[in-house]
Amino acid sequence: MYTLFSVLIIIVSILLILIVLIQNPKGGGLASNFSGSNQVMGVRKTADFLEKSTWTLAVALILFTLFATLAMPKKSAEEQKSVIESKVKNTAEPNALPTFPVNPTEGNMGSDTTK
């Protein structure tokens, strides 16, 4: 379901971008191409259609994002535990760790004591 909403969000976003780019900020835009007054869809009706479609797509985008948020897959309670918490539980007891023997006769390992 989340994937469906994601695809719808992408489609609505692309359509909204195209509708906004078609509009001219000075009032012309796509409406300036229809200069004849005897057309079925005149200049004013084209501008109204573009404005209504912009608002409709904007509202649809907001609704789809809200629905996508609700449809997101939720993790179970076991999966939500912290990674650090799981590592702490899986660590070995400090007393159970192996001890390495120390040779007291060698002293400092980095220095050369043979002469």
> Is 26 part of a structural domain of the chain?
no
**CB of 5 closer than 8 Å to CB of 68:** yes
> Is 110 part of a structural domain of the chain?
no
What are the backbone dihedrals phi and psi of residue 21, each rounded to the nearest 5 degrees, phi first? -70, -25
Rg (the chain; Cα; Å)? 34
Q: 64, 83, 61: which is closest to 72 by C-alpha?
A: 64
Confidence of residue 18 (pLDDT cuts 50, 70, 90): very high
Tell me what pLDDT residue 62 has: 96
Q: Which domain holds residue 14?
A: 1-21+44-73
Domain count, the chain: 1
Tell me the per-residue pLDDT of 75-108, one tens digit each, with 9 for 90 and over. 766 666 677 777 777 776 767 666 677 776 655 5
Output 16 or 77, whichever has higher pLDDT: 16
**Is the entire prediction scored with pTM above 0.95?**
no
Whether the predicted pLDDT of 36 surpasses 70: no
In sequence order, the 6+-apart residues with CB closer than 8 A to the CB of 71 are 1, 2, 5
Q: What is the average pLDDT across 23-45?
A: 57
> Is 15 part of a structural domain of the chain?
yes
> Is 48 part of a structural domain of the chain?
yes
Tell me the per-residue pLDDT of 55-75, one tens digit each, with 9 for 90 and over. 999 999 999 999 999 988 877
Q: 11, 16, 9: which is closest to 57 by C-alpha?
A: 16
> Is 12 part of a structural domain of the chain?
yes
Tell me what pLDDT residue 38 has: 46
